[in-house]
Amino acid sequence: MKQTQSYQSIKLSTNSIEKFDDTLVIEAPLQININEEPYTVVMRTPGNDEELVRGLLYAEDIYKKQSEVKIEIIKNEKDFSTILNVEIPKEKLGKGYLNKRTLLSVSSCGICGKKELKDVRIEGNTLKNSTKTNIKELIEVTSRISLKMNCKQSLFKITGGSHACAVFNKKEELLTIKEDIGRHNAVDKCVGDLIIQNKLKEANYMLVSGRVSYEIVSKAFLAKIPIIIAVSACSSLAVDFAKEFGIFLIGFSRDHKMTIYS
């Protein structure tokens, strides 16, 4: 099962620029049906889907027995999105399903509660990104605002266990910074703060302390924030969506180096 995909990108440093094919981990949705009824959608790297489903059903107290259940692939798309159906006799369904409890919302999940693949899609017009800059200026701007974010990460300094999101305007002025154990939560907190402040339209740069996945790109798009800068990697779906949405996506922004994906 293919788990990586190559994307053409541009690697920048203060003294060099290089076009190259970067290998990214694939992120794709898996829709889980139970007895032909949609249950939930999870983002995953393809491979070991049956094990993933069994582990999820166990954690959610839906089916904890060791005996096998029938798991069938209903649809398997070229973009690695997949629909699986799990057949479980009604009398063997656990309390987690019988109580119709929603899927546990964990800190790393930005799509919890969605039931079908079509719910993952985001509608809207491509952003008109008018950002113009040269390489040296881009690296300098990114370094400056990254330093500003790092200085404000008080929770991380104490615990070493939190993520941060910071949003700046075109003048590199910090509009908001929030921390949370979950990357997606930190982004939501920033967007919410800007809505309360009535400053969402001023947002131009979104910095995130970890990696960028589909959910973070979609949140930036819905908030009309045109530039995402990540300290860490980007997933395949994040790059796909950034290109589709017109978002300037930068990963591995560290030590006056970065990789441009979109």
Tell me: is residue 255 an annotated ligand-binding position.
yes
User: CA-to-CA distance for 8 and 69, rounded, in angstroms?
Assistant: 41
Mean pLDDT for 162-171 is: 94
Backbone angles phi, psi at 7, to 5 degrees: -130, 140
Torsion of CA 139, 143, 149, 151, to 10 degrees: 180
Q: Which residue has the higher pLDDT, 246 or 133?
A: 246
Q: Which residue has the higher pLDDT, 174 or 133?
A: 174
Residue ranges of the chain assigned to CATH 3.40.140.10: 124-260
Q: How confident is the model at residue 199 (pLDDT cuts 50, 70, 90)?
A: very high
Give start and end residues of each alpha helix (H) in the chain.
49-59, 95-98, 135-151, 154-159, 183-197, 214-222, 236-245
Mean pLDDT for 44-71 is: 85
Percentage of the chain beyond pLDDT 70 is: 88
Q: What is the pLDDT of residue 88?
A: 92
State the fold for domain 124-260.
Cytidine Deaminase; domain 2 (3.40.140)
Q: What is the pLDDT of residue 106?
A: 46
Residue position matching structure tokens 């491979």: 47
- The catalytic residues are 109
- Is-contact 234 211, C-beta < 8 A? yes
From the list 2, 77, 72, the residue with the least C-alpha distance to 36 is 72
pLDDT digits (tens, 9 = 90+) for 130-140: 666 677 888 89
Q: Which residue has the higher pLDDT, 74 or 61?
A: 74
User: CA-to-CA distance for 25 and 205, rounded, in angstroms?
Assistant: 24
Q: Which residue has the higher pLDDT, 1 or 243?
A: 243
Q: Enter the DSSP assignment of 220.
A: H
Tell me: is residue 256 an annotated ligand-binding position.
yes
Torsion of CA 214, 220, 224, 230, to 10 degrees: -110
Tell me: is residue 252 an annotated ligand-binding position.
yes
Mean pLDDT for 34-42 is: 90
User: CA-to-CA distance for 164 and 219, rounded, in angstroms?
Assistant: 15
Q: What is the pLDDT of residue 114?
A: 64
From the list 256, 260, 176, 171, the residue with the least C-alpha distance to 212 is 260
Q: What is the pLDDT of residue 112?
A: 56
Tell me: is residue 121 an annotated ligand-binding position.
no
Terminal C-alpha separation, the chain: 26
Q: What is the pLDDT of residue 66?
A: 77
Q: Mean pLDDT for the chain? A: 86
Q: What is the pLDDT of residue 129?
A: 64
Planar angle of CA 78, 24, 42, nearest 5 degrees:
60
Indicate the length of the chain as a whole number: 262
pTM score of the predicted model:
0.77
Tell me: is residue 143 an annotated ligand-binding position.
no
Tell me: is residue 152 an annotated ligand-binding position.
no
Q: What is the pLDDT of residue 59?
A: 79
User: CA-to-CA distance for 101 and 250, rounded, in angstroms?
Assistant: 38
Q: What is the pLDDT of residue 7?
A: 93
From the list 185, 177, 181, the residue with the least C-alpha distance to 151 is 177
